[in-house]
Amino acid sequence: MPRDLHLEQPQPQKQPSQDDNPGSPPTLSESPNRMSGPSSPEPESSGSKSFSIVPHDQQYRPTLNLHPLVRPLTISDLGSVVALENGAFVEESERASREKIEYRLSKCGELCSGLFTTVVPGPQQSFSSTTLSSASPVETSRKNGAVSVLLAHVVATKTTSPLATDESMDFPKDWKSASSAKNEVGHMEMGRTIVLHSVAVTPEFQERGLGGVLMKAYISSMAGSGVADRLVLIAHDHKVGWYEKLGFVSQGKSKVQFGGGNWIDMVYELKKTEPRARYG
């Protein structure tokens, strides 16, 4: 379910130096336990060189010139949302299917939100994201071909229950049918509880604070809209602390069995914002 990341920005660290070899220093690969770099001659001595591996959370990550924009998701974002969902969730059982995402964006896109950045494609462009290939043009008339790339999303529906349930996690299989009967599963428009099904960041941009930026904007937007009284979600034990920093409160073990169960119920009571005084 909701996929999160740490709010803290990793601090730059110097790469380890070699002993006597003046050649090019090795560079860290994607894995903190592997190193790669230009091949170098074998040392004459029988002793092998050792390197100090920098922990993953302390590795240097170059700062990117991002200009994030948070906006509601629409059905036109379906391809990007599906790509992000599949890339962010390692366990397939915890991902939403394409049809389930299509249902949620169609029925309540106003409850779903995405964090985007603008990218101008080109031979010198080093930008990489799981969602780049499904990005849409910023403006069809823009000559530079700039596209809006989804980096993080929140996908949600409403329920009449005060907590997430298996029924709220599901969707009616005949929802596209004109004769679709009233269902007891999926989005409930009259509900006052928003269920966050997916809080995810594309793998290339995890642990850079984007999840926190999106969630704070989402909480503020939902509180100001007055469409619900609370936000709820289910999280694994090791994710609870991250949500607590945002203001969510643990309600203990959840009854939800989605994805194999073993979830913790989390609740955020929305505070109604007072209207600002108008002058003149």
Q: Tell me: pLDDT of 270 over 70.
A: yes
Q: What is the mean pLDDT of the chain?
A: 80
What is the pLDDT averaged over residues 238-259? 96
Question: What is the structure's pLDDT at 1?
Answer: 64
For 96, 100, 179, the CA distances from 83, given in Å and listed in that order, are 11, 14, 31
Question: What is the structure's pLDDT at 33?
Answer: 34
Residues in CB range of 115: below 8 A, 6 or more apart: 68, 69, 70, 150, 151, 152, 153, 210, 213, 214, 217
Task: Give the pLDDT confidence of 169-184 residue by residue, as tens digits.
Answer: 999 999 998 766 678 8
> Can you read off the two tokens belonging to residue 161?
């229950």
β-partners of residue 201 are 152
Report how far residue 165's alpha carbon sits from residue 233's, in angstroms, rounded to the nearest whole number: 9
Question: What is the structure's pLDDT at 164?
Answer: 98
Question: What is the structure's pLDDT at 9?
Answer: 45
Q: Which percentage of the chain shows pLDDT scores above 90? A: 54
Question: What is the structure's pLDDT at 262?
Answer: 93
What is the pLDDT averaged over residues 117-129? 76
Question: What is the structure's pLDDT at 42?
Answer: 43
What is the pLDDT averaged over residues 79-90? 94
Name the pairing type of β-strands 136-137 and 113-119: unpaired
Confidence of residue 274 (pLDDT cuts 50, 70, 90): low
Poorest-confidence range of 174-183, 200-209, 244-253? 174-183
**Between these two residues, 273 and 112, which has the higher pLDDT value?**
112
Residue 189, amino acid: E
Poorest-confidence range of 141-145, 217-221, 266-270? 141-145
Poorest-confidence range of 53-57, 232-236, 247-251? 53-57
This prediction has a pTM of 0.73
Task: Give the pLDDT confidence of 37-82 residue by residue, as tens digits.
Answer: 333 344 444 444 444 455 545 444 444 567 789 999 999 999 999 9
Q: Tell me: pLDDT of 2 over 90.
A: no
Q: Tell me: pLDDT of 196 over 70.
A: yes
83 and 152 Cβ atoms separated by less than 8 Å: no
Q: Tell me: pLDDT of 160 over 90.
A: yes
> What would the 3-class secondary structure string for the chain be?
CCCCCCCCCCCCCCCCCCCCCCCCCCEECCCCCCEECCCCCCCCCCCCCCCCCCCHHHCCCCCCCCCCEEEECCHHHHHHHHHHHHHHCCCHHHCCCHHHHHHHHHHHHHHCEEEEEEECCCCCCCCCCCCHHHCEECCCCCCCCCEEEEEEEEEEEEECCCCCCHHHHCCCCCCCCCCCCCCCCCCCCCCCEEEEEEEEECHHHCCCCHHHHHHHHHHHHHHHHCCCCEEEEEECHHHHHHHHHHCCEEEEECCCCHHHCCCEEEEEECCCCCCCCCCC
Report how far residue 35's alpha carbon sits from residue 40's, in angstroms, rounded to the nearest whole number: 13
Question: What is the structure's pLDDT at 156?
Answer: 98
Q: Tell me: pLDDT of 121 over 60.
A: yes
**Between these two residues, 218 and 117, which has the higher pLDDT value?**
218
Task: Give the pLDDT confidence of 18-41 residue by residue, as tens digits.
Answer: 444 444 444 333 333 333 333 334
Domains observed in the chain: 69-269 (3.40.630.30)
Q: Tell me: pLDDT of 131 over 60.
A: yes
Instruction: Tell me, rounded to whole angstroms, the distance of Cα 127 from its chain centroid.
Output: 18
